[in-house]
């Protein structure tokens, strides 16, 4: 993957994370980076401290491929803003396979990007879309998914949690679905089966 493709992809992800339902424009990205720098570089005294910034024309050159490499300052600036490792912001070498990455942070970033992409596909289901985005925004989304697996493995725990955390969802549940969540009543027929086992 080329650096230019990575920057465009990160603009798209950031736009979705900010609720724009589209990629951030280059100009929006420049303004967001400036605002982020102003907030993180506010001095304790009254004097104003300026942080590194990037121009829209420089960003355009990167994305068009006219400028194939970033300066170290710009790489660190973009990596900090997008919350990716600075080493991600380079062209991938020939024959590079992203599947071979073992670093847990790379796995986390990849999972978050996958979740954002999934949220985009389910835009017509606002609740599911928001759930996927919330999961992607969590700093340990991998652990959240592993926790969800354990919740689903524990009999009726998901139903009990849903009753407590989202009671309005349980009330709107269809009668057929509600009956599936209920344990089967013990009948004379079931008792006979249990005794013979």
Residue 158 in contact with residue 152, Cβ under 8 Å?
A: yes
Q: Are residues 51 and 12 in the same domain?
A: yes
Whether the per-residue pLDDT at 101 is higher than 50: the answer is no
Q: What is the DSSP string of 111-136?
A: HHHHHHHHHHHTTTSHHHHHHHHHHH
Q: What is the CATH number of the domain that holds 42?
A: 1.10.260
Confidence bin at 194 (pLDDT 50/70/90): very low
Task: Check residue 179 and give its pLDDT.
Answer: 46
- Structural domain boundaries enclosing 83: 3-96
91 and 111 co-located in one domain: no
pLDDT at residue 86 above 50? yes
**Other beta carbons within 10 Å of 78:** 24
CA atoms within 13 A on the CB side of 74: 17
Task: Give the pLDDT mean for 169-174.
Answer: 61
The domain boundary residue, chosen from 62, 78, 96? 96
On the question of pLDDT at 176 being above 50, the answer is no
What is the helix (H) or strand (E) element at residue 37, kind and residue range?
Answer: helix 26-40
178 or 38, higher pLDDT? 38
Give a yes or no: residue 186 inside a domain: no
Least confident of 12-21, 38-47, 60-69, 134-143: 38-47
Shared-domain flag, residues 89 and 136: no
* 28 vs 192 pLDDT, higher one: 28
Angstrom distance (rounded) from CA 158 to CA 163: 9
pLDDT averaged over every residue in the chain: 77
| DSSP secondary structure, 1-30, as one string | --HHHHHHHHHHHHHHHTT-SSPPPHHHHH
Q: What is the largest CA-CA distance in the chain?
A: 84
Considering the domain architecture, whether residues 7 and 78 belong to the same structural domain is answered as yes
With beta carbons less than 8 A apart as the criterion, state whether 91 and 3 touch.
Answer: yes
Do 46 and 74 lie in a common domain?
yes
Q: What is the pTM of this model?
A: 0.46
Give the pLDDT score at 28. 92
Q: How many domains does the chain have?
A: 2
Residues 131 and 51 in one domain: no
Q: Are 83 and 111 members of one domain?
A: no
Q: Do 155 and 128 belong together in one domain?
A: yes
């Amino acid at each position: 993957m080329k650096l230019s493709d990575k920057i465009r992809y990160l603009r798209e992800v950031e736009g979705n994370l900010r609720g724009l339902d589209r990629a951030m424009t280059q100009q929006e990205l420049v303004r967001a980076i400036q605002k982020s720098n102003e907030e993180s570089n506010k001095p304790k005294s009254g004097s104003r401290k300026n942080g590194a910034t990037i121009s829209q024309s420089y960003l355009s050159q990167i994305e068009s491929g006219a400028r194939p490499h970033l300066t170290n300052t710009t790489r660190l600036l973009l990596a900090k803003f997008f919350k990716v490792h600075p080493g991600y912001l380079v062209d991938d070498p020939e024959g590079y396979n992203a599947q071979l990455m073992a670093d847990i942070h790379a796995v986390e970033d990849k999972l978050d990007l996958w979740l954002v992409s999934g949220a985009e596909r389910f835009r017509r289901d606002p609740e599911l879309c928001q759930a996927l985005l919330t999961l992607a925004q969590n700093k340990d989304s991998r652990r959240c998914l592993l926790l969800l697996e354990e919740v689903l493995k524990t009999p009726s725990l998901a139903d009990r949690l849903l009753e407590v955390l989202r009671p309005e969802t349980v009330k709107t549940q269809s009668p057929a679905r509600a009956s599936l969540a209920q344990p089967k009543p013990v009948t004379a027929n079931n008792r006979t089966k249990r005794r013979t086992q």
